[in-house]
Structure 1
Amino acid sequence: MPYDYQPFEYTAPPGLTAPEPRHKVVIVGAGPIGVAMALELANHGIPSVVLDDNNVVSVGSRAICWSKRSLEILDRLGVGEKSVEKGVTWKVGRTFHRDAEVFNFDLLPEAGHKMPAFVNLQQYYVEEYLVQAALANPLVDLRFKNKVVTVHQDADEARVDIETPDGLYSLSCAYLIACDGARSPVRHMMGLEFDGELFEERFLIADIEMTADTPSERWFWFEPTFHPGQSALLHKQPDNIYRIDLQLGWDTDPEEEKTPEKVIPRIEKVVGHSDFRLDWVSVYTFQCRRLQSFVHDRVLFVGDSAHVVSPFGARGGNGGLQDVDNLGWKLAAVLNGQAETSLLETYDAERTYGSDENIRNSTRSTRFMTPADGAERLFRDQVLALASKAPFARGWVNSGRLSVPCVYPDCGPDAPGLPAVSRPGAVAPDAPLDNGWLLSALGGKVTVLALGCKTADVPGAETLSVPVTDTIRARYLGDAAQAVYLIRPDQVVAARWKTPDAGTISAAIETIWRGK
């Protein structure tokens, strides 16, 4: 096996022998989202207990495509550079119809960013890096083989009962965060259901180990000759592992399709030979659904426990990390007494907005890849035929709109004439500085970013002045001589002006903590 699955150590928790004091935060689920949540809270000085019923990283590659924004978030958590170093960096995607390339695209054609457009890295590596960081962090209490079996809450706290190899115990906390995946036991214990759409379509995921000279690109086929009438996807991963996705159709038997007798002949047709080893196989059903609300009093839902999307577009794990990014500083502010609990309502508002954008894009991709008979199929087929000849039609070809962070609406004041890429609600774009990178100097705090000018220090924020380079001008100033940006702790632009006074900036800072 290319990856050595080593179990994490189980330690009997103190709650087995005596009641534990109330914790600030208990997180259910030690996957990449749960551990990232704990590390993000730790960055804000908030301790947490992380409970997981397992003691090993996820088996199989699962989430593999980590977007530029996710890598920036992972960088704040201390594992971004390691992930890029191990992963397969890519930015070019190629789309084929049958055997002919219809078009290709470049996701990051410009220089001046610390992180690449995408890195392919198996989920088990990302989990391993995050767990290593968590085990080294005194504010994170990771407890493996601790299975949550009941959840209760009242106006003041949440409580969980936990099953371990040594018996049962209970914990209470100010807030419980459910990061326990698409089948979330916490969600089921609370009687909460997803709303949305389940598509009558299945795809096979197969990871194979083989030696090949394939470029680090995303290859997607509509109706390839090796898989007639269906769709296929190929991604390169580290350790000579290749991800292959094959559309199966709704009438197939998922268990039968996972057998080597079925999988291996299909893969042989894709790669043209049998010199490979089957590493991991799964069959999944397309679905685009979410909870109506991610905040349920003292219980908060993050990642797949809150929302699920079809995998094309890499919006699942990346969307979960954006949840972490949004919630961490807000929950810390509430727990530290810096903000009222109403600030958590903005987590719900902003991340349901982001989830709806992901669901909308994923739904459109699914319908284009698996069109219904009639108008949908006619449209899809005509677009594919036209795209190879007419450049204007290539934007209609939809093999999965790849994950980018959403722009939150109604975020704050905006000065006219400044570049759209850095508008309020958007993540502040990165840029190289003499001594590093701009995003490395932002995050974790409210920052007043002064460009081409000086501004007085304002209570409740740090002031950062950086030289105006060509990149800074292109991404933040445009034709303006100067500007002042207010950046939230999650590196999102909260407001921007050309010549603000201290009172205007202070009012915008108060709005950040007060929420909408």
Structure 2
Amino acid sequence: MHTPVTVPRQSLYHSYTVYPHTFPSDPARSNGVVTIVGGGPIGLVASLILARHGIKNIVLLSEQQVSEGSRGLVYTRRSMEILKVAGVADRIMEKALSWTSGNSFYSGKRVFRMENPVDPQDSYPPLNNLQQNHLETYLVEEAARQPLIELRWGNHLTSFSQDEHEVTLVVDTPEGEYTYKTPWLIAADGARSAVRQSMGLTMEGNSYEGRFVIVDIRIDLPLPTERLAYFSPDWNPGNTILLHKEPDNIWRFDYQLPAHVSNEEALDLQNINQAVNAQLKMMGYEDKQWELDWYSVYSARALTLPEYVHNRILFAGDSAHMLPIFGVRGANTGFQDVMDLCWKLAATIKGWGSSYLLNSYTHDRVGAAMEIIDEAGKSTRFMAPPTDGFRLLRDATLSLSLKHEFVRPLFHWRTSRAHVYRSSPVNSIGDDNQDMIPELENGAPIPNLKLSGKQYLYDELGLDFNIVYFGNEESLPDSLQKEVNELRSQGVPFKVIVLSSENTATAGADKTFRVDAQLLQSRYGASQGQVYLVRPDHHICGRWKKYVPGSLENAFQKFIKKSA
């Protein structure tokens, strides 16, 4: 019998709630079209986005409270855009600490400063710090308000089987086991995914020897919100220390372990105290009082499943891939997973999306993971050199950086960003992509745009397919209107937005916004009659200098279900 911990977790800053466990009144009956295994940020965001698509879902949460500690701490602008879709971004920004810069130090000298640009047309800052327990609480409270979501606390998946039509689950609870069937299962159960292990699936990529201890402490430090990296300090020679400021006067220390130190030694409280005190002394704050909140240990890994779609079982987040945290890639990559997955799964469930469309989830997101593994591998080999050779190169770079400017960009940690699906199976074939500005190639996220006040283009896009039309005509081309209406009749959610330098209304459009012509040209390379086709996850999948009749039909023919 499953027995989750029912004593609230201890924290210096977060008040934990223990939620009542769930045992369904009619276990064999399920109202959820999708079951999500895992109640961390990825599973909860998937649940909320599916609900926004109108899909009922059940979330199985093995515990009865949210997770402990800061864990996934830094959320990128792209993640905030996705969390806005999930319904929690505004609340996050009330609490989060935003930042744009990071400093790297060696031998007491700052050797590199990284600056993330701030664009007034974007709705969120580049990087935002918030502890995962706060984030999960916001997500849980938002999910509890949604009639299409059922949270099942204290429900632990013990076994499952699938056929061509559904997945049969055996779930253990404090009241015993029950069985039910679900048409679809999303495995968002983390790095130690029981679903992945039960299916015997193996990941591809690299594991690194570098291990880090995470320590959250409460301390008052007179420092701005920036990412700080210290290379090979005297108290931890040859290793790396990272620092982040968190809300609630909490600071996070990530310090690399020497190879000979075991995890058990690393998590000994006396050793943790010595490490924190040594770092504070090096920074000149040895007289500051501090309190320990939470600590853990992790290893740098760069691994992914080669396939994320396994018939009726779909993988997302750390169950699908395990990525080094350098460059804030963990949860941020998982959010992009579910933003891509949910619209494709919703299209499949609603009947207009083909199996080709759902299978494109693997292509798009495995491609993203492989790109991240390549980039993160470079960062990881610099932060935590895996061999003597890499360590020699890293140490040479550190030494040269004290006097030579040209080596300092090697400290750049390649921050997580939205992936460009340039080879996506969903991209249009035969459009004008090759003849338009390369920055907005097919697969790229369409740039956001401040329309007025607190209103942004992304708020208007919603979860539909969108035609973004640039022009001052009084009416959309008849052929474009006809093709949009035909797709709508087949169940495809569609919206047409016109960005015009002269008009505030366009016949045939859902919305028209008047925008300065120079801004439209600089941001989109816009010209009269230009058309962008944007996926429900904000990525461009087709573009034309002038609309040609039949273009939408051609763009959708690959992945729309013919019988729809």
Tell me, yes or no, whether TM beats 0.5: yes
Select between 350-359 and 283-292 the one with higher mean Cα deviation: 283-292
Q: 1: distance between equivalents of 2:439 and 2:460?
A: 19
Query: SS of 2:346's equivalent?
Result: helix
- Alignment of 1:86 with 2:104, yes or no, is no
- Alignment of 1:452 with 2:499, yes or no, is no
| Residue type of the alignment partner of 1:136 | R
- Alignment of 1:160 with 2:169, yes or no, is yes
- Alignment of 1:402 with 2:418, yes or no, is no
The answer on whether the counterparts of 2:47 and 2:59 sit within 8 Å (CA) in structure 1 is: yes
Output one character per residue of 1:194-224: Cα deviation in whole Å (capped at 9) or x when no partner.
2222212211110111112110111112112
The answer on whether the counterparts of 1:41 and 1:47 sit within 8 Å (CA) in structure 2 is: yes
- Alignment of 1:472 with 2:520, yes or no, is yes
Query: SS of 2:355's equivalent?
Result: coil
Counterpart in 2 of 1:493?
Answer: 540
Shift of 1:510: 3.7
Equivalent residue runs for 1:95-110 within 5 Å: 95-110=104-119
- Alignment of 1:145 with 2:149, yes or no, is no
- Alignment of 1:422 with 2:440, yes or no, is yes
- Alignment of 1:186 with 2:205, yes or no, is no
Output one character per residue of 1:25-49: Cα deviation in whole Å (capped at 9) or x when no partner.
1110111111111111111110001
Q: 1: distance between equivalents of 2:329 and 2:387?
A: 27
Counterpart in 1 of 2:451?
Answer: 433
- Alignment of 1:177 with 2:186, yes or no, is yes
Q: 2: distance between equivalents of 1:265 and 1:323?
A: 39
Output one character per residue of 1:465-487: Cα deviation in whole Å (capped at 9) or x when no partner.
12343443222116x45521110
Q: 2: distance between equivalents of 1:95 and 1:421?
A: 30
Shift of 1:388: 4.8
| Residue type of the alignment partner of 1:64 | L
| Structure 2: unaligned runs, 5 residues or longer | 1-11, 488-493, 500-513
Could you say if the C-alpha distance between residues 373 and 38 of structure 1 is closer, same or farther in structure 2, counting changes exceeding 3 Å? Answer: closer
| Residue type of the alignment partner of 2:166 | E
Could you say if the C-alpha distance between residues 118 and 512 of structure 1 is closer, same or farther in structure 2, counting changes exceeding 3 Å? Answer: farther
Percent identity over paired residues: 36
Counterpart in 2 of 1:15?
Answer: 26
Query: SS of 2:365's equivalent?
Result: helix
Q: 1: distance between equivalents of 2:441 and 2:403?
A: 36
Query: SS of 1:282's equivalent?
Result: strand
Shift of 1:443: 3.3
**RMSD in angstroms over aligned alpha carbons?**
1.9
Output one character per residue of 1:349-390: Cα deviation in whole Å (capped at 9) or x when no partner.
100001111111121111112225554233323333444544
Q: 2: distance between equivalents of 1:417 and 1:268?
A: 58
Query: SS of 2:377's equivalent?
Result: helix
Output one character per residue of 1:391-445: Cα deviation in whole Å (capped at 9) or x when no partner.
44333224x3211011012333444564443221011111100251011111300
The answer on whether the counterparts of 2:21 and 2:64 sit within 8 Å (CA) in structure 1 is: yes
Could you say if the C-alpha distance between residues 121 and 34 of structure 1 is closer, same or farther in structure 2, counting changes exceeding 3 Å? Answer: same
Counterpart in 2 of 1:507?
Answer: 554
Output one character per residue of 1:114-170: Cα deviation in whole Å (capped at 9) or x when no partner.
111010000111111111111000000110011110010011111110011112111
Query: SS of 2:340's equivalent?
Result: helix
Could you say if the C-alpha distance between residues 387 and 502 of structure 1 is closer, same or farther in structure 2, counting changes exceeding 3 Å? Answer: farther
Could you say if the C-alpha distance between residues 452 and 388 of structure 1 is closer, same or farther in structure 2, counting changes exceeding 3 Å? Answer: farther
| Residue type of the alignment partner of 2:295 | V
Counterpart in 2 of 1:71?
Answer: 80
Name which of 233, 236, 239 aligns with 1:230: 239
The answer on whether the counterparts of 1:67 and 1:403 sit within 8 Å (CA) in structure 2 is: yes
Larger Rg: 2
Counterpart in 2 of 1:43?
Answer: 52
| Structure 1: unaligned runs, 5 residues or longer | none
Shift of 1:319: 0.5
Could you say if the C-alpha distance between residues 227 and 157 of structure 1 is closer, same or farther in structure 2, counting changes exceeding 3 Å? Answer: same
Structure 1 length normalisation: TM-score? Answer: 0.95
The answer on whether the counterparts of 2:203 and 2:305 sit within 8 Å (CA) in structure 1 is: yes
| Residue type of the alignment partner of 2:108 | D
| Residue type of the alignment partner of 1:477 | G
Select between 210-219 and 454-463 the one with higher mean Cα deviation: 454-463
Q: 1: distance between equivalents of 2:404 and 2:459?
A: 42
Query: SS of 1:14's equivalent?
Result: coil
Could you say if the C-alpha distance between residues 360 and 238 of structure 1 is closer, same or farther in structure 2, counting changes exceeding 3 Å? Answer: same
Q: 2: distance between equivalents of 1:246 and 1:70?
A: 26
Query: SS of 1:161's equivalent?
Result: strand
| Residue type of the alignment partner of 2:293 | D
Q: 2: distance between equivalents of 1:90 and 1:464?
A: 32
Q: 1: distance between equivalents of 2:368 and 2:387?
A: 31
Query: SS of 1:342's equivalent?
Result: helix
- Alignment of 1:462 with 2:460, yes or no, is no
The answer on whether the counterparts of 1:52 and 1:143 sit within 8 Å (CA) in structure 2 is: yes
| Residue type of the alignment partner of 2:24 | P
Count matched residues.
Answer: 511
| Residue type of the alignment partner of 2:175 | D
Could you say if the C-alpha distance between residues 510 and 160 of structure 1 is closer, same or farther in structure 2, counting changes exceeding 3 Å? Answer: same
Q: 1: distance between equivalents of 2:115 and 2:470?
A: 30
Query: SS of 2:183's equivalent?
Result: strand
Could you say if the C-alpha distance between residues 416 and 294 of structure 1 is closer, same or farther in structure 2, counting changes exceeding 3 Å? Answer: closer
Q: 2: distance between equivalents of 1:186 and 1:440?
A: 35
Structure 2 length normalisation: TM-score? Answer: 0.87
The answer on whether the counterparts of 1:15 and 1:169 sit within 8 Å (CA) in structure 2 is: no
| Residue type of the alignment partner of 1:407 | V
Equivalent residue runs for 1:386-397 within 5 Å: 386-397=400-411
Q: 2: distance between equivalents of 1:354 and 1:372?
A: 24
Counterpart in 2 of 1:329?
Answer: 343
